[in-house]
Chains A and B, each alone.
Chain A
Amino acid sequence: MDKLKILLVDDDEDDRQFFADALEGIELNTDLHQLENGKSCMEFLLKDTDNTPDLVFLDLNMPIMNGFECLEAIRRTPHLKDLLVAIYSTSSAERDIEETFEKGANIYIKKPSSFSELKKSLKQVVKMNWAYHLNDFKKENFLLKI
């Protein structure tokens, strides 16, 4: 099986480090690419279709281009409209969650406050059979809050 290509877009260096360490810790066959904001994410995605990842983790509160804008830009782009996007944010505000789903997010993960929980939820997300779930897409199924 090919490596699962994962793109993480988050301006917080610590969070990116936690994420990378946790992903490494769950010992799954993944390839992680990290970017710092929505703008660099879009540039990366539009530059070469070979860059298109299997799964994007998108922070919401970022400078230059935030997660909401980036999500909209992704859904506006024809070849990215089916890209799996997981929101990865500190916010637990109901309206933020609603808004991202309205804008086409596939999953919402609240950033956990312990490392073991982070590993647990990443494992859960990565292991999911995306293709299957996409056909029966329900907010509750994908809303992972820890």
Chain B
Amino acid sequence: MKFNVADDIFRKIVDDSDTAILYAEPSTPKAVHAKEYLVKYSNQKAQSFFSIFPKNIENHPLEELVNYDELLILANKVLETGYDENFNIIVKEADSILNYHVRIKPFSKGLLFELAQIKPKFITDKESKLPLGSAKSRNRELEISNLFGIRVLDSNDSIICYLKPIFNIKGAVEDFRIDYINNRMREIANDDSAFIEGQTILEYYPKNAENGVLEILAEGYISGENKEYTKEFIFNEKAVWLATKAVKMNDGLILFSKDVSQEKKYEAQLFLQNRLLSEAERVANIGSFRWNLAKEHIKYSDNVYRLFGYDPNEFDDKYDRLLTFLHPNDFEKVKSSFKEARKNKSKSDLVFRVYTRSQELRYMNTIAECYQKEGNWYMVGVIRDVTKQIEAESILQIKNAELKRTNADLEAFNRVASHDLQEPLRKIQMFVSRLHEEEEGRLGKRSQGYLSKIKYSSDRMRNLINNLLSYSKVDEVSEQPTRVDLNDVLNNALEDLAERINDLDAQIESVSLPVVNGIQFQLEQLFANLIGNSLKYIKEGVQPKIKVIGSIVNGNKSEEESLLSNINYVKLQFIDNGIGFEKKYQEKIFEIFQRLHGKTEFSGTGLGLSICKKIVQSHNGAITAKGVLNKGAEFTVYLPTLL
């Protein structure tokens, strides 16, 4: 059997149809019985329906295929009467029972069998309004509908129509008459009228004159070329997007229109989403890509181009082009990593350097994954500019390394100070003390003086070493903080300093102090250092007076900026009437080894206040100093109160 026009399209429609179609012709001109008919055409559905038969069933005797006796009996009936026969059959298939509607009708030189599975679709109201028999009346002018039953066309998802041109007096196409249109049009347009056929396309939809449809169709008819267009139509106030293909057939046009409204809607949404994504990528300095691994081209998002300093689509989207941005030292790494990911469909996550269009060195990070879709492998991923992070990280690494070195140095120093330095010093002191004991009275006055100086210096050195040790040990405390009564702390500190207080006849004034959370011995050291400091820097001829005041302040309202707001602090003030210091030194005096005075004037290692600061800091507090030269100094300590 030969298809004359638009063969392929029709074959596709027929093959895609849910209806099984079989066409048979008599084996000889004399054949009168359906048994003697040979199969001339079958669609895919029919081939699968009659799956017990060879795939190529053409030219097979109908009898061999259709072994349902009833089918042959009815086929004979059709041959006798020349009228269609409709009936239902039941087919048992595995676990299910399937209902088929069968129609046998005379067709061309033979018989046409249509088997449609009965689904809800076939028993709708519309179906009952359009009895199969009425199809016959529509066949008259339409060759194509002679090919197969209307059902095939009606059950198709597309609108199918056949148009005949109407010429004006000049011989130009001015309209088309709708000769046939399938039921799908009525469904889509929500139009029950049975009289679409016979109208022209401008009568049916006047806007066809303005929206370019008539023009396109006329051109298609004249040139004989296939035409495709997608247009929006309004049917009964409902917008419908139809994607249409027009093919010239004989002296008319056949149109296939698909309702793509949903796709259009998705497309609009997708467009919006893409725009949002693109915007988000730009803001986040991220680009994304999708790569069909079988191909060399990569689909980049707009921002990928921007990351490399280009406008969207400005550089070639080939994979190889991407590699040209790479820093030479990272070239092999990236290439092999992508090769690996492409081959094994593995996940990849790597950081590499690239040169952007302006030859700026940037760090990029890509994370990509592979997935399979419809038999193709894709790699999807993101590219991020991580230059900032990498730079920050490398600074951090350098700092960390520095810190590690410093810590190691400090540890070594501790070891040295606690043993190696002390050992020889202790011996010096020991020998000095023996010399002093044994030779006292026998040494000359000057030698006696030298010995005293050696003793003084070595004592100072021991003091210094001990202070250094306690400074470095502030952070090493393994003890847990406990409730510490600051009154006890003050008393213990004063006890340690009792001798000096007595010697100087110093006056210590204090109020009742609160309880804090802390390490007792450190707080004692803090108090002893601060009070000791006041006892050290005294003014000649003036009785030293030291006042210790305690109060509670809120971090918010305090004058000290480093305190946390909304936390209450114990504020301790140590006020003396000593020599004070200039304002410019009030930060400096807490620095390690900062001495404001010559060491002969006042004893001191330059570490006392540094230790204080460290202790306060490790208690999450703060310490400040205020001084007026020759008037006195005031040290203020803030310690968080108990919660």
A interface list, Cβ under 8 A from B: 14-15, 18, 21, 61, 90-93, 111-116, 118
Inter-subunit contact B429/A113 (CB<8 Å): yes
Contact of B419 among A61, A112, A115, A118 (CB under 8 A): A61
A118 cross-chain contacts in B, Cβ below 8 A: 430
B437 contacts partner chain A, Cβ-Cβ < 8 Å: yes
Chain A interface main SS type: loop
Inter-subunit contact A113/B462 (CB<8 Å): yes
Nearest-CB distance from A25 to chain B (Å)?
Answer: 9
A112 cross-chain contacts in B, Cβ below 8 A: 426, 430
Contact of B418 among A93, A111, A114, A115 (CB under 8 A): A93
Given contacts A115-B434, A116-B437, whether A90 and B423 have CB atoms under 8 Å apart is: yes
The 9 A-B pairs with the shortest beta carbon distances in the complex, nearest first, are A113-B429, A114-B433, A115-B433, A113-B426, A115-B434, A90-B423, A93-B418, A90-B422, A18-B430
Sampled A-B contacts (30; CB under 8 Å): A14-B430, A15-B427, A18-B430, A18-B434, A21-B434, A61-B419, A90-B419, A90-B422, A90-B423, A90-B426, A91-B418, A91-B419, A92-B418, A93-B418, A93-B419, A111-B426, A112-B430, A113-B425, A113-B426, A113-B429, A113-B430, A113-B462, A114-B429, A114-B430, A114-B433, A115-B430, A115-B433, A115-B437, A116-B433, A118-B430
Besides A90-B419, A111-B426, A118-B430, 8 other CB < 8 A contacts?
A15-B427, A18-B430, A93-B419, A112-B430, A113-B425, A113-B462, A114-B429, A115-B437
Nearest B residue to A91, CB-CB: B419
B418 cross-chain contacts in A, Cβ below 8 A: 91-93
Nearest-CB distance from A145 to chain B (Å)?
Answer: 12
Mask: chain B, 410-448; 1 = CB below 8 Å from A; 0 = not: 000000001100110111011001100100000000000
Question: Which of the listed residues B418, B425, B433 has the most CB atoms from chain A within 10 Å of its own CB?
Answer: B433
A14 cross-chain contacts in B, Cβ below 8 A: 427, 430
B interface list, Cβ under 8 A from A: 418-419, 422-423, 425-427, 429-430, 433-434, 437, 462
Nearest A residue to B473, CB-CB: A94
Distance in angstroms between the alpha carbons of A78 and B425 in the assembled complex: 39
Distance in angstroms between the alpha carbons of A91 and B422 in the assembled complex: 9
B429 cross-chain contacts in A, Cβ below 8 A: 113-114
Distance in angstroms between the alpha carbons of A100 and B342 in the assembled complex: 63
A114 cross-chain contacts in B, Cβ below 8 A: 429-430, 433
Nearest-CB distance from A44 to chain B (Å)?
Answer: 25
Distance in angstroms between the alpha carbons of A15 and B402 in the assembled complex: 40
Distance in angstroms between the alpha carbons of A115 and B433 in the assembled complex: 6
A111 cross-chain contacts in B, Cβ below 8 A: 426
Nearest B residue to A89, CB-CB: B419
B433 cross-chain contacts in A, Cβ below 8 A: 113-116
Question: Which of the listed residues A61, A111, A115, A118 has the most CB atoms from chain B within 10 Å of its own CB?
Answer: A115
B430 cross-chain contacts in A, Cβ below 8 A: 14, 18, 112-115, 118
Distance in angstroms between the alpha carbons of A15 and B427 in the assembled complex: 8
Nearest-CB distance from B457 to chain A (Å)?
Answer: 13
B426 cross-chain contacts in A, Cβ below 8 A: 90, 111-113
Distance in angstroms between the alpha carbons of A118 and B437 in the assembled complex: 13
A116 cross-chain contacts in B, Cβ below 8 A: 433, 437
Distance in angstroms between the alpha carbons of A92 and B430 in the assembled complex: 17
Nearest-CB distance from B433 to chain A (Å)?
Answer: 4
Distance in angstroms between the alpha carbons of A91 and B418 in the assembled complex: 7
Nearest-CB distance from B427 to chain A (Å)?
Answer: 6
A18 cross-chain contacts in B, Cβ below 8 A: 430, 434
Nearest B residue to A113, CB-CB: B429
Distance in angstroms between the alpha carbons of A47 and B552 in the assembled complex: 69
Distance in angstroms between the alpha carbons of A101 and B180 in the assembled complex: 109
Distance in angstroms between the alpha carbons of A21 and B434 in the assembled complex: 10
Distance in angstroms between the alpha carbons of A14 and B426 in the assembled complex: 11
Nearest A residue to B466, CB-CB: A92
Nearest-CB distance from B168 to chain A (Å)?
Answer: 111
